[in-house]
Amino acid sequence: MKSPNHISLESVREEPVSFSFELPFSLKALDREPLLELSRVSLAGTIRRIERGFALEARCAFRGQLECSRCLAAYPFSVEEPFALLLYERAPGVGDVREIGRDELDVSLYEGTELDVAPIAEERVQMAIPMKPLCREECLGLCPQCGQDRNVRRCECVAAAADPRWGALEAVRDATKSQKV
């Protein structure tokens, strides 16, 4: 039985062949902590023969929810990116992708006549998830002392922190107050 997530390489002859897939991934299988939700991953493009292999050009699109590494809030993200991949058959003489990979191009090895597109899509997803996701660049995060989300409200802990600059500021403020009285 043919798997639905495969491209038959034998069907690729003179002309490029178009393909379009909608791939479901489980969060468990992806195993990336900040990823809270993921849509189906759409992978669409063309594949054509090149010398000793195939060239794949595709667009990968998906969206979901990530957890901000500073404030722990869930926020939506979406990715739609074009990419290109060279595919060479895994052969006894070709042990390492780096031997044949030209630096600027992604290279992958395949075996047999059916190309499984799931690992290709998964790699795009893995690369798109940041190590430290941020809901926004200037996210203030949670207060390490009281846990208050500082994007929502400033807590009082800041003044109590052992930062001499705050002490100096207080002194100035007190001085101003007493002058007014």
Binding of Zn ion at residue 71 (CB under 5 A)? yes
Pick one of 23, 68, 125, 142: the residue that binds Zn ion (CB under 5 A).
68
Among the candidate windows 29-37, 49-57, 115-123, 134-142, which touches Zn ion by CB under 5 A? 134-142
- Which one, 55 or 134, has the nearer CB to Zn ion? 134
| DSSP secondary structure code for residue 142 in this structure | B
Task: Report the candidate in 24, 20, 110 with the shortest Cα–Cα distance to residue 60.
Answer: 20
Task: Report the candidate in 19, 7, 8 with the shortest Cα–Cα distance to residue 45.
Answer: 19
Among the candidate windows 10-18, 56-64, 104-112, 143-151, which touches Zn ion by CB under 5 A? 143-151
Binding of Zn ion at residue 143 (CB under 5 A)? yes
Q: How far apart are CA 64 and CA 60, in angstroms?
A: 14
Pick one of 63, 97, 148, 149: the residue that binds Zn ion (CB under 5 A).
148
- Which one, 46 or 148, has the nearer CB to Zn ion? 148
Enter the tokens of residue 18. 């178009």
Which parts of the chain are beta strand (E)? 6-8, 17-23, 35-38, 41-50, 53-67, 74-89, 106-110, 114-116
Among the candidate windows 46-54, 67-75, 111-119, 162-170, which touches Zn ion by CB under 5 A? 67-75
Q: How far apart are CA 181 and CA 179, in angstroms?
A: 5
Binding of Zn ion at residue 65 (CB under 5 A)? no
Binding site for Zn ion (CB under 5 A): 68, 70-71, 135, 139, 143, 145-146, 148, 155, 157
